[in-house]
């Protein structure tokens, strides 16, 4: 499969969500209709979808169910992956009970923190001592880490995650993280997003 | 001022954050150094920064403090804005005590919910009955709304927000929202972000 540009990949959940809202009464859909609904250009939509296995037919468009399947396949929704949250403050805690990860095949299995007051190894979503990171990564086969710690310790926590073997990191701390080749960091800066919105 | 492309605006908080980490010992910085630190192309950085009032000097680069000021000016950090969260579940609750909005001049002043059990008009960050949306928007001069309600009612809540006069909406519900011209919606799909990371 061709390497899909990140910017394209980022639109795949939107396509999926939209196609799912259409329901079974919609059997086929054109790139033009998708483009209009999502406020995108039709050429862009056609290019984006050309990276999937689903081929649209002239004048008939894409089979909706096939297209959803193709998008979900690229997003690896049917491959189960475990994730852990490092830093169980309010945001970390909210994420642990956030149910929307499951539709992408991702389970946030546990949290880790260095504050003894929040640890609870017997909870439905256990919270372990941050010192046990290596053991937790092995035990649950953690592939994704979510950093929810304060900025000042984000790089240290990131280094520990990388050392534990996890190669995909989502961080809520707005600190530019240094990682070795092969490790990918994605930034989720809530405040910056609101600021950008306010400046539009 | 020229209209700044959204994709450029989205990088401004990253530039700001990076420049702030450098501290006072760094008086001037080149576009090349910024590009290298953030893993971006130098031409891109130079184009991005050309939208600000700060002019870099050949071989000397940008004055760091001036550049931070120019970026913050575009992001309107020094213009105070009030925001409200609609839907005070776990994510909404976490946002209400999230302190990082302040550095962009944004205060999340209150929440609104339709569940009587979570209402508390006397809290430091009061939580009002969702029926009072219009009054709350007037009382606090709310310019930004953050939607944290379940998907199925996101459009209804969005319509009410638009009717109340708010024109900038950040939504955590992964539902494609229809809004009239002049209203801007920004999507914050936490699960999709983790899924995209897992597919990279």
User: Are B195 and A93 an interchain contact pair (Cβ–Cβ within 8 Å)?
Assistant: no
Task: List, for residues A129-162, the tens digit of each pLDDT value.
Answer: 999 999 999 999 999 999 999 999 999 999 999 9
A122: helix, coil or strand?
Answer: coil
Distance CA(B195)–CA(A62), nearest Å, equals 23
User: Are B37 and A90 an interchain contact pair (Cβ–Cβ within 8 Å)?
Assistant: no
Average pLDDT over residues A94-117: 95
Q: What is the mean pLDDT of chain A?
A: 95
Please report residues of A whose CB lies closer than 8 A to that of B106: 191, 194-195, 198
Task: List, for residues A28-85, the tens digit of each pLDDT value.
Answer: 999 999 999 998 999 999 999 999 999 999 889 999 999 999 999 999 999 999 999 9
Q: What is the mean pLDDT of chain B?
A: 95
Average pLDDT over residues A108-115: 97
User: Are A21 and B97 an interchain contact pair (Cβ–Cβ within 8 Å)?
Assistant: no
pLDDT of residue A39: 87
Please report residues of B whose CB lies closer than 8 A to that of A142: none
Task: List, for residues B24-74, the tens digit of each pLDDT value.
Answer: 899 999 999 999 999 899 999 999 999 999 999 988 999 999 999 999 999
Which of B98, B144, B195 would best serve as a mutation to test chain A binding (most A beta carbons within 10 A)? B195
Distance CA(A148)–CA(A118), nearest Å, equals 14
Q: Provide the pLDDT confidence category of residue A1 given band limits of 50, 70 and 90.
A: low
> Where are the strands (E) in B105-200, listed by range?
106-113, 127-129, 142-147, 168-171, 184-187
Q: Provide the pLDDT confidence category of residue B1 given band limits of 50, 70 and 90.
A: low
Please name every residue paired with B150 in a beta bridge, in sequence order, or none if there are none. Answer: none
Task: List, for residues B150-167, the tens digit of each pLDDT value.
Answer: 999 999 999 999 999 999
Facing B100 at nearest CB: one of A93, A186, A191: A191
Nearest-Cα distance to chain B for A196, in Å, is 6
DSSP B24: T
> Where are the strands (E) in chain B, listed by range?
28-29, 62-63, 81-86, 106-113, 127-129, 142-147, 168-171, 184-187
Is residue B143 within 8 A of residue B83, CB to CB? The reply is yes
Q: What's this model's pTM, rounded to 2 decimal places?
A: 0.91
């Amino acid at each position: 499969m061709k390497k899909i540009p990140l910017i394209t990949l980022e639109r795949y959940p939107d396509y999926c969500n939209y196609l799912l809202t259409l329901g079974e009464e919609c059997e086929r859909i054109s790139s033009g209709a998708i483009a209009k609904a999502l406020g995108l250009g039709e050429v862009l939509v056609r290019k984006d979808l050309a990276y999937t296995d689903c081929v649209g037919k002239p004048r008939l468009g894409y089979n909706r169910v096939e297209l959803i399947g193709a998008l979900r396949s690229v997003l690896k929704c049917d491959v189960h992956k475990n994730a852990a949250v490092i830093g169980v403050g309010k945001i970390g805690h909210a994420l642990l009970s956030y149910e929307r990860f499951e539709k992408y095949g991702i389970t946030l299995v546990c949290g880790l923190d260095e504050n003894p007051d929040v640890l609870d190894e017997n909870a439905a979503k256990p919270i372990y001592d941050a010192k046990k990171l290596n053991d937790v990564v092995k035990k649950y086969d953690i592939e994704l880490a979510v950093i929810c710690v304060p900025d000042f310790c984000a790089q240290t926590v990131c280094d520990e995650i990388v050392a534990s073997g996890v190669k995909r990191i989502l961080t809520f701390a707005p600190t530019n993280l240094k990682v070795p080749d092969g490790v990918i960091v994605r930034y989720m800066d809530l405040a910056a997003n609101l600021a950008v919105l306010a400046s539009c």
